[in-house]
Amino acid sequence: MSSASNWEFPRSVQPKPEDYSFDLDRALGAAVGLSAVVPADAFTAETLGTERAGNGVLIRNSVVLTIGYLITEAETIWLTLSDGRAVPGTVLAYDQETGFGLVQALAKLDIPPLALGSSAAVKVGDSVVVAGAGGRKHSLAARVISKQEYAGYWEYVLDEAIFTAPAHPNWGGTALVGPAGDLIGIGSLQLQQAQGQGVLAHLNMSVPIDLLKPILNDLLTIGRANRPPRPWLGLYATEVEDKLVIAGLAKSGPAARADLRVGDMVVAVAGTKVDSLGGLFRRIWSVGNAGVEVPFTIYRDGRTFETRVASTDRNRLLKGPSLH
């Protein structure tokens, strides 16, 4: 949803200037709407769609930070400013390990950028703002509920993600504004958390901004982080009780080519037993860089066997700046 949308939060949950020690409206003004169009033949078109919409935040002149899945393989990008102006943009970079994406605005924005803060300094219980494009009406006063590991089934792990509540319904690429009025994270997901007696609370997960700082210059100058790519297998795993089960496979990905199957149970990787999603992916990454063969111990239909999966660099499959 961009600032052109006619929805807005009730005043009771909108951030109020008197509750913060910083210039709230100036901070919120850095949030922009983002829409992207992706070619139908793109690798991510089937899973993420060809038309994607969310938010971003201006972090320096003409450079907008967002969540990478919104812009991965995008050929057309438009940014919507808080005053309603729409300007074109182009993809600068996206980073698979952190999940961040960068967009270059192709016109002058004339809005002050939001400074990068310290996600490490933010404490559980702190008041924060989840800022969407369009100012207070599209932003949410929230609190940090937890800071803990997050493992995503698509071969993704954050050591310490930031979880906030209440949840912003248009979370993708939202700016997580910390107590000092600076940027401490970028909205990535909405999740549910059980609170007892069948009650589910909705939370947002944000990627901590401290992960951007070591790679920002690389992303701006060469379109990717200057580090060896991790091995990618194209398997979607899930925890079922205390077991790790393959729930899906990327079409024509390494795991599918190696004849791993939906329903297979992963017992061990490179001889080490794995019992959590984060542990599974970390163990895969520990074997070597992209291209390495990853040994698996698999349980299927009553028997246990060994197999190997020849990994690849996921970026090789994607259109866009990661190929530059």
- Look at residue 8 and tell me if it is in a domain: no
pLDDT value at position 5? 54
Place of tokens 């190929």: 323
Gyration radius of the chain over CA positions: 20
Quote the CA–CA distance of 93 and 89 in Å, as a whole number: 12
Are 101 and 41 contained in the same domain?
yes
Strand partners, 92: none
| pLDDT at residue 321, rounded to an integer | 63
CA distance 75 to 56: 17
In a domain, 84, yes or no: yes
Question: 248: domain CATH number?
Answer: 2.30.42.10
Q: Which tokens hold the place of 78?
A: 């438009």
Taking Cα atoms as reference points, which of 300, 318, 288 lies closest to residue 258? 300
Residue entry with tokens 């922009």: 32
Residue 12 included in any domain: no
| pLDDT of res. 3 | 38
- Is 157 within a domain? yes
- The verdict on residue 7 lying in a domain is no
Residues 169 and 256 in one domain: no
- Rounded Cα distance, 196 and 198, in Å: 5
pTM, full prediction:
0.94
- The Cα–Cα gap between 269 and 295 comes to 6
Q: Per the domain annotation, does 229 fall within a domain? A: no
Handedness of CA 37, 132, 94, 161 (dihedral sign): negative
1: in domain: no
Rounded Cα gap, residues 2 and 77, in angstroms: 13
Q: Which residue has the tokens 């992207």?
A: 36
How many domains, the chain?
Answer: 3
What number of other Cβ atoms are within 10 A of residue 298's Cβ?
19
Residue range 85-116, pLDDT digits in tens: 999 999 999 999 999 999 999 998 999 999 99
The CATH number that applies at residue 48 is 2.40.10.10
Mark the ranges of the chain whose per-residue pLDDT is less than 50: 1-4, 322-324
Contact 71, 188 (CB under 8 A): no
Same domain assignment for residues 310 and 275 = yes
pLDDT given for residue 4 in this prediction: 43
Three-state SS at 117: coil
- Domain carrying residue 301: 235-323
DSSP state of 167: P
